[in-house]
Amino acid sequence: MDKGYCGVDKEHPDKNILIPFKKPKDGELGKFQKEANRYNNQKKIVVEHVIGKLKKNRIISDVYRGPISSFNQIFCNIAAISNFKLATANP
């Protein structure tokens, strides 16, 4: 998560939520904090890229007008197609 979600980790203590360290006023982040932020950003960018690919299919970016009972199945099918494309893509 990014800094916009401060407090979510306190609301859900049973979840593993990583929020980046913020640089203090008149100070710098320590070496561990910089490395932790870098690690979190590397994980977050993978998710952001997947969301971007799913948006190309417009299931996330447009208003869904179908029956709500079929949304999960349609979303899973589009995710499976995206995973298949990713797995069979030529390097």
* Global model pTM greater than 0.85: no
Give every CB contact of residue 18 below 8 A, 6+ residues apart in sequence. 1, 36, 40, 43
Higher pLDDT, 88 or 17: 88
Q: Pick the closest to residue 53 from 78, 90, 19, 18 (CA basis).
A: 78
CA distance 62 to 55: 8
CA distance 88 to 48: 21
Give every CB contact of residue 89 below 8 A, 6+ residues apart in sequence. none
**Res 69: pLDDT:** 92
pLDDT over 90 (residue 14): no
Q: Model confidence over 16-75: pLDDT tens digits?
A: 777 788 888 888 989 999 999 999 889 888 888 888 888 877 767 788 888 999 888 988
**Res 49: pLDDT:** 85
